[in-house]
Chains A and B, each alone.
Chain A
Amino acid sequence: DAKTTQPPSMDCAEGRAANLPCNHSTISGNEYVYWYRQIHSQGPQYIIHGLKNNETNEMASLIITEDRKSSTLILPHATLRDTAVYYCIVRVAGTSYDKVIFGPGTSLSVIP
């Protein structure tokens, strides 16, 4: 089962920042938070990941709370092409295996 909780849907006005929340209250100390998105039926696209520090790249910023129990993905200036399902994932790994489990995600609609 997915270890994260996300709102099922969100709207955002074009040009505004989209802030997508994710709860991962059972995260372990060595587990990373990853964000992906899936536009229609295309393959999921990697966005960003982090362990405990905030991260930024050309696509987005990732803010992780100090207790690591939640995080927020920020798309600074949302465009219509950012309309997609966004998945927040905690990597679950044992000593020799790695399952990457996707939950239902958040369906983001960017509105003109």
Chain B
Amino acid sequence: DSGVTQTPKHLITATGQRVTLRCSPRSGDLSVYWYQQSLDQGLQFLIHYYNGEERAKGNILERFSAQQFPDLHSELNLSSLELGDSALYFCASSARQGLNSPLHFGNGTRLTVT
């Protein structure tokens, strides 16, 4: 158990809808990262937050947004969903930003858009 909690585990919704994925980092971790993994695809970095502030963006669509709250949990909002958004979404946390701080991943949210 990595200590990172993601909810829900599974989500099925229709095209055009909006969903929110939630991530609770390990206790004390200040950094949160979001990744998308489509079927048979690699892990695509989406966004990184540190202590409530956005720090880095990857290939995140404009339809997607995220935030990190004062209690350090994070939410990833996906809107105007398309079939191609079906994927596993992973959250990871680390104690601090910087190069000597491993990421610890949750078990992901599996999103299915029908």
- Within 8 Å by CB of A99, from B45, B102, B105, B106, lies B45
Identify which of B14-22, B62-70, B76-84, B92-100 touches chain A: B92-100
CA distance A59 to B25 in the complex (A): 23
Closest A residue to B88 using CB positions: A41
Q: Is the CB of B98 within 8 A of A98?
A: yes
Closest B residue to A34 using CB positions: B102
Q: Given A30-B99, A43-B107, A46-B102, are A101 and B31 also a contact pair (CB < 8 Å)?
A: no
Closest B residue to A87 using CB positions: B43
Q: Is the CB of A100 within 8 A of B42?
A: no
Residues of A within 8 A of B102 (CB): 34, 46, 49
A side interface size, CB within 8 A = 27
Q: Is the CB of B99 within 8 A of A99?
A: no
CA distance A43 to B2 in the complex (A): 9
CA distance A90 to B103 in the complex (A): 13
- Within 8 Å by CB of A45, from B31, B100, B105, B108, lies B105
CA distance A98 to B58 in the complex (A): 10
Q: Is the CB of A43 within 8 A of B55?
A: no
Closest B residue to A102 using CB positions: B43
B side interface size, CB within 8 A = 29
Residues of A within 8 A of B35 (CB): 102
Q: Is the CB of A98 within 8 A of B99?
A: yes
Interface bits A65-102 vs B (CB < 8 Å: 1, else 0): 00000000000000000000001000101001111111
Chain B interfacial positions (CB closer than 8 Å to A): 2, 4, 31, 33, 35, 37, 42-43, 45, 48, 50, 55-56, 58, 88, 90, 92, 97-100, 102-108, 110
15 pairs, CB–CB < 8 Å, chain A vs chain B: A31-B99, A38-B43, A42-B108, A43-B2, A43-B108, A44-B43, A44-B92, A45-B2, A46-B102, A49-B100, A49-B102, A100-B103, A101-B58, A102-B43, A103-B42
